[in-house]
Amino acid sequence: MAGLVVAAGALGAAVWLTGAGGAGTDGLVQALPSGAVRDLVEDLVPTGAVAVPAPSAEVAALADEAHLSTEGRELFVAARPELLDAATFVGRRSDGTGTDPGADPGAPSGVAVGCYQRGAQDSIVLYRPADERLRGSVVETAAHETLHAGWERLGDEERARLVPLLEAALAAVPAEDRLHAQLAGSVGDRPESRPTELFAYLGMQAWREGGLDPALEAAWGRFVEDRAALVGVHAAWRGALDATAAEIRSASDALVAREGADAQARALYERDAASRDVYREAWTAKSAEVAAMGAAERDGLLLSWTWWDGTELPMAPAEDTLATAADLLARDDAALPPRLAALEAAEAATAAERARVEALAADLTALQVQLDPVQAAAGG
């Protein structure tokens, strides 16, 4: 039939893809409910097949962005992918599983963001964050679900050959990589789900120049046309969040130092201005006292002074010392206003930087909320 692709029916089984929610946003975590998962039939047109309409422009675009191969696109499209907003997705998951939509069995720190379900009609449901900057997460979820479907399409013997290769590939992933925690949370207490999780996670996130084991690349290559580019999708959107978080941390540290320097400069200025004022009062009083003296007494009076900044005025006739002190007051009056202007400019710049960093942090928090459909549906 023109404009249609065909999907085969199978026993029901669902794979919920979950992503770490809240401030952590440590990536996508996938969980496979317990229960037997039958192989998908190899033939795209078996007896009893169900006709599937041609993909929408949005689904086709997702397949393109996920760099799916012809076979991968067929699996993806045959599952009639639905892209749902937060409220609809949360409601669908609750209705579909009978569990709290904000929790995922085996991944307690994650929240569901996608589901691949096998049955009389295979289906894929994807959570689509409202913020388009998280488009990469949707692409990743789509590819991840497709790789699960692809794993079921592989034959038993091929899967048995691939499992030790997948384990070896995982062992080569740096211990600090978040993939290990994602995999552990996804598998949980269902070791039977580990192979499909390995296939999906490593296929989506692990890459080195030239690819991994040729047998693995051949298996992934059935469903993904350009795996390096697909891993790049994951690296790009996740890297953007990580880079923003790193920028916030660095800018926050620098901001603390700037605010400390500003506070110190403010304290020094206020101390010096107050000292100037005190010495002005003392100079005014002493000048009045000397002026009130008789000429003989005044001419015989010697006076020394240590100015507030440590400047020494040696013993000299009082009028000479007072004249020097007047010069110091004039110096202080000229020097303090530019210091104040520079200080206020620095404080304003620091305040602007704080506003920028706080806005950056608020924006990142909003993105993190968007990654969690439960939080997003609740309004953050």
Q: Which residues pair with 31 in a beta bridge?
A: 16
Q: What is the 3-state secondary structure (H, E, C) of 245-290?
A: HHHHHHHHHHHHHHHHHHHHHHHHHHHHHHHHHHHHHHHHHHHHHH
Count Cα atoms within 13 angstroms, Cβ side, for 96.
Answer: 24
Cβ neighbors of 292 (< 8 A, separation 6 or more) are none
DSSP type of residue 225: S
Read off the pTM: 0.75
The label of the residue with tokens 């309004």 reads 379
- Closest C-alpha among 315, 328, 331, 326 to residue 291: 326
- Closest C-alpha among 269, 271, 261, 278 to residue 349: 261
Contact present, 125 and 113 (Cβ < 8 Å): no
- Classify each residue of 272-307 as buried b or exposed e, where b means 16 or more C-beta atoms within 10 Å of its C-beta: beeebeebbeebeebbeebeeeeeeeeeeeebebeb
- Closest C-alpha among 143, 121, 142 to residue 40: 121
Q: Report in angstroms the alpha-carbon separations of 290 from 304, 308, 324.
A: 14, 21, 15
Give the integer Cα–Cα distance in Å for 121 and 48. Answer: 11
For the chain, report the end-to-end CA distance as a whole number of angstroms: 46
User: Would the CA dihedral through 123, 124, 125, 130 be positive or negative?
Assistant: negative
Q: What is the DSSP string of 114-136?
A: EEEEESSS-EEEEE--SSGGGHH
Classify residue 346 by burial, with Cβ atoms within 10 Å: 0-12, 13-18, 19+: middle
Q: Which helix (H) or strand (E) holds 13?
A: strand 13-20
- One digit per residue, the tens of pLDDT, for the chain of length 380 reads 333 222 333 334 555 555 544 434 333 333 333 333 333 333 334 444 556 678 899 999 999 999 999 999 999 999 999 999 999 999 886 655 432 332 232 233 456 788 888 776 778 999 999 999 999 999 999 999 999 999 999 999 999 999 999 999 999 999 999 999 988 877 888 899 899 999 999 999 999 999 999 999 999 999 999 999 999 999 999 999 999 999 999 999 999 999 999 999 999 999 999 999 999 999 999 999 999 999 999 999 999 999 999 999 999 999 999 999 999 999 999 999 999 999 999 999 999 999 999 999 999 999 999 999 999 999 86
In degrees, rounded to 5, the angle at the alpha carbon of residue 379 between the alpha carbons of residues 378 and 380 is 95
What length does the chain have? Answer: 380
Contact present, 13 and 35 (Cβ < 8 Å): yes
Q: Which residues pair with 18 in a beta bridge?
A: 29, 112
Q: What is the pLDDT of residue 15?
A: 56
- Each residue's pLDDT tens digit, 271-306: 999 999 999 999 999 999 999 999 999 999 999 999
Residue 208, classed as helix, strand or coil, is: coil
